[in-house]
Amino acid sequence: MNNRSSSAHFLRWFDPRNRQVGTWAFILNRITALGLTLYLAMHLVALSQLAQGAAAYDAFIAFAKNPIFKMGEMLVIAAGIIHGLNGIRIALNSFGIGVRFQRQFFLALMLLALIGIAYFGFIMFFVD
């Protein structure tokens, strides 16, 4: 195997053309898992700083009301909903449920995820 064919094979992974819905579901599941793992690490660091006392807690609450921080929270909520619903689909398929209708099942769950994300976004940004 020469280097040209292995590098072409590697670059083909990033080519979005001619992808099946299952491939997009797999990629989406991996990306959301990485994002949630990163969030968990950042969350643990933030919690350790809050153990420094009331002043640190008050400073964190003031920072958490920042609109940029709220957008970050929205991304975490979106990743959690998408990852969770996609995980349910994968688990059901593992038991043989919905295997023949994977595409429709995935699209229906992503529509449900979009509705959930919109609901949480409305609550976060417009209800206070």
Q: Is this structure's pTM higher than 0.85?
A: no
Query: Tens digit of pLDDT for each residue in 75-90?
Result: 999 999 999 999 999 9
Separation between Cα atoms, residue 67 and residue 61, nearest integer Å: 12
Q: Which residues contact 124 (CB under 8 A, 6 or more apart)?
A: 70, 73, 74, 77
pLDDT digits (tens, 9 = 90+) for 21-65: 888 898 899 999 999 999 999 888 888 877 888 888 888 888 888
- The full set of domain ranges for the chain reads 21-126
CATH class of 21-126: mainly alpha
At 58 the pLDDT is: 84
Q: Which residue has the higher pLDDT, 34 or 6?
A: 34
